[in-house]
């Protein structure tokens, strides 16, 4: 699935482990996005 839109707002971001919660908006909907990434 591919969506096109804009990152609206970063709600929370942890720089130590890249855990991020943000809102992403398309023309039709707004999504809550969670990104979890480990740094090795």
pLDDT tens by residue, the chain, 40 residues = 899 999 999 999 998 888 999 999 999 999 999 998 765 5
This prediction's pTM:
0.74
Which residue matches tokens 């039709």? Answer: 28
Question: Could you report the per-residue pLDDT of 10-20, keeping only the tens digit for each?
Answer: 999 998 888 99
Burial (CB count within 10 angstroms: exposed 0-12, middle 13-18, buried 19+), residue 22: middle
Show me where the domains of the chain are located: 6-35
Residue 5: per-residue pLDDT? 96
């Amino acid at each position: 699935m591919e969506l096109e839109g804009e990152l609206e707002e970063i709600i929370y971001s942890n720089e130590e482990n890249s855990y991020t919660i943000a809102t992403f908006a398309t023309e039709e909907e707004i999504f809550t996005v969670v990104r979890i990434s480990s740094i090795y």
